[in-house]
Structure 1
Amino acid sequence: MKILLVSMNNHHFKRWAEQLEGQGFELHWFDILDQGKATSLSFMNPITDWKKGFLKKRGRTLVKSKFPQLYNKLVKHYDVTVDIAFSKAIQNIKPDIIHCFEMKIAGLKILSVMQKNQLPLIYSSWGTDLYDLNVLGIKKEQAREFLTRVDYLITDCQRDAQIAMDLGFQNKHLGVFPGNGGLDISEGHRLPVDQRNYILVKGYESAIGKALTVMKAIELVPLELIQPFKILIYSADESVIEYVLQSKILSKLAYKIVPRSENVPNKDLLNYMGRAAIHIANSNSDGMPNALLEAMCMGAFPIQSNPGQVTEEVIKHGENGFLIEEVNDHKKIAQLITESLRNTSLRMAAQEYNIGFIAKNYNRDKLRPQIINLYL
């Protein structure tokens, strides 16, 4: 069976695709953003380097910055469009199934081509893909048109399956699967609660991410509670970095900032999670966050936003984590952080429950045969 996967190159896609490696499929990857060849995806046949029609190796950035109007004319005249490149890929490969990951980045870009054929189309929704169309600049009419062409749907939460149906999807929902195809379950690097000395904060600040609210909340936590911990702010946007560096209160704490541009390798992040007392992530739009599932797997107590009630699919507030219901209420978030640090017994019970829950429901090895069967 020939499977044509359409996606950007990122960690979650790589991990999903690896579940199909060595299973008898002929795998092809259409690099939708034309990011270039990736050695980590060498087990698939790549369709990359398809876009550039001029200055293919160097000089494009210079022309774009110095002569933007000329650059736009050259792009329009010489660069290859997604329609042309993707149509050619289908013609050459003759796939049995096409699987696209994310609607805005992949699905909408190949829709015009897919509307001209009857090939089975699987669509995996990720993150905020379906929940908040406005923030992504997607019109409901576009989403409806795309979902009408989708034959099979995979979501990372139950919420988004219902949203898709509300938008007119009438075909088969294949089920809920983590976007990365599951987690490796390992006992390594998990410390007991009384030895955990980190607090992890996801540092996204944007129209969606709300890390600044978390930093303001941390400033309100009693110093005697939080000073024993080291704070790791990972994937931090510039506004978050500036705020932390200028905060007199945060200067009294031990912290490390990793800018978003300096992506923490997933293995290192998991190690930190295994040493973290709590993991905090705050956003006003998301699917089922992979970072949340990883934190739970590694025993960190989760304090997580709950857009559209998605996170309550895995967290029972006050039992195995805390839910942030008001993403801009830093005082309430401060109360949640304070309570979690004071209540060691709660964190111990949550760690035991969460590790078992993830092992049962998100174990990569257990999910592999289910994922393979999706394509059969």
Structure 2
Amino acid sequence: MIILLVSMNSIHFRRWSEQLRDSGHEVFWFDIKDQGYAPSMSWMNQITGWKKGFLKRRGRTFLKNKLPKLFNALVHKYDTRVEDAFAKTIQEIKPDLVHSFALYLSATPILQVMSQNRIPWIYSSWGSDLFYYKNDPDHLKDIKAVLARTDYMFADCKRDQHIADELGFKGTHLGVFPGGGGFDIAQFEKFKVPFEKRKIIAVKGNQDRSGRAAPVLKALELLKGELHNYEVVVFGAQHPEVLAFKNSSIPHVTILGLVSHEEIIKLLCKSLIYIGNSNSDGMPNTLLEAICAGAFPIQSNPGGATAEIIENEKNGCLIEDCEDVNHIYNILVSVLFDNELLMNGVGLNDKNLVPSLDRVKITKDVREAYSLIKG
């Protein structure tokens, strides 16, 4: 089968597409942002270099920043439209299947072309695709239009399957899988620190449209007198409000900016507790990585997505109000002083969840899902 993947170059896309390597399918990738050839995905056929009609090698960023009106005029006049490039791609490779990753990024821009043919179309819902944007009238119109045309769907949580059905999806659900596929459990085992030696509280540092690290850090400040035996490590911090906590009253706090994926895995593998907090997400990949790493998870639960795998105060804790500092504080108090809860929760995850997240198993299941596609 000829499979045409449509996405930007991201770690989740690279990990998902790797599942199709040596699968017997001929795989093409249409780089929706035309960011350039990706050596890490050299095994697939890459469709890049389709966009730029002027300043093809250098100077575009400078012109965009210094003379934005001129830049936009040149883009409109000389650059190739996504629809035209994608239509040409369809004609040239004649795919048996098109698979778009993330609705606004990779499905809406090609909807017009896909509406003019009946090639089977898969949509992979990621993160806030449906849960957050369905509340915006303009985005809702696009969501409904895409769902009406797509034939198949992958989701990273059951919540989004239900939302898709409510918004008009009449196709086939191919299953619920992590957005980047499964996880290399052996890699985690290589870095894992024994439970009794762990003293780190790892906090995902996003403070943006959906990320809510600040309320977590404010809750930790309220606990400052109880944290002297712990180290708080915030990673992925970029927002000034989060970076300012370098000078907070939290003892032994470290604020890290963007770090490599491997460094995140190493951190989680020596962390006692992982905290992720947002107002909108699907099934967070970092949460799943924390579980594989043996950290006790505390995670926000937008729309009930996280509750699909976390039973509150059993194998983790659920943050039901991501903005409520006192609510988060009470969760932290109940966890920090209950070593039995921490140990039993990690044990339950090791037994019940980690085997289901194994990359070998999920790759097999994903390949079987693709085999269900009928041209």
TM-score by length of 2: 0.95
1:228 deviation in Å? 2.1
CA 138–11 in structure 1, closer or farther in 2 if over 3 Å, else same: farther
Aligned match of 2:230? 229
Aligned match of 1:209? 211
Is 1:337 the counterpart of 2:332 in the alignment?
yes
1:15 deviation in Å? 0.7
CA contact (8 A) 1:279 1:300 kept: yes
CA contact (8 A) 1:285 1:307 kept: yes
Is 1:277 the counterpart of 2:272 in the alignment?
yes
Correspondence 1:129-208 to 2 at 5 A = 129-133=129-133, 138-186=138-186, 187-208=189-210
Amino acid at match of 1:3: I
Which whole-Å deviations, capped at 9, do the CAs of 1:206-233 have from their partners, x for residues lacking one? 121111111101101142x322222221
1:331 deviation in Å? 1.5
1:364 deviation in Å? 1.0
CA contact (8 A) 1:276 1:300 kept: yes
Amino acid at match of 1:271: K
Aligned match of 2:95? 95
Aligned match of 1:256? 254
CA contact (8 A) 1:211 1:240 kept: no
Is 1:301 the counterpart of 2:296 in the alignment?
yes
SS of the residue 2:145 aligns to: helix
CA contact (8 A) 1:222 1:338 kept: no
RMSD value, Cα: 1.5
CA 197–266 in structure 1, closer or farther in 2 if over 3 Å, else same: same
Correspondence 1:289-328 to 2 at 5 A = 289-328=284-323
Cα distance in 1 for partners of 2:192, 2:65 equals: 48
Cα distance in 1 for partners of 2:135, 2:182 equals: 27
SS of the residue 2:318 aligns to: strand
SS of the residue 2:185 aligns to: coil
Amino acid at match of 1:156: D
Is 1:21 the counterpart of 2:21 in the alignment?
yes
Unaligned runs of 5+ in 2: none
Which whole-Å deviations, capped at 9, do the CAs of 1:237-262 have from their partners, x for residues lacking one? 22234431342x13xx2232222xx3
Most deviating of 354-363 and 83-92: 354-363
CA 137–47 in structure 1, closer or farther in 2 if over 3 Å, else same: farther
Cα distance in 1 for partners of 2:300, 2:365 equals: 29
Aligned match of 1:41? 41
Aligned match of 2:64? 64
CA 316–218 in structure 1, closer or farther in 2 if over 3 Å, else same: same
CA 120–286 in structure 1, closer or farther in 2 if over 3 Å, else same: same
Cα distance in 1 for partners of 2:66, 2:41 equals: 35
Aligned match of 1:127? 127
SS of the residue 2:62 aligns to: helix
Most deviating of 331-340 and 130-139: 130-139
CA 137–209 in structure 1, closer or farther in 2 if over 3 Å, else same: farther
1:137 deviation in Å? 7.7
Most deviating of 50-59 and 360-369: 360-369
SS of the residue 1:284 aligns to: coil
Is 1:286 the counterpart of 2:281 in the alignment?
yes
1:91 deviation in Å? 1.2
Aligned match of 1:244? 245
Cα distance in 1 for partners of 2:69, 2:280 equals: 36
The count of residues paired between Structure 1 and Structure 2 equals 369
Aligned match of 1:374? 369
TM-score by length of 1: 0.95
1:88 deviation in Å? 1.2
Cα distance in 1 for partners of 2:55, 2:368 equals: 43
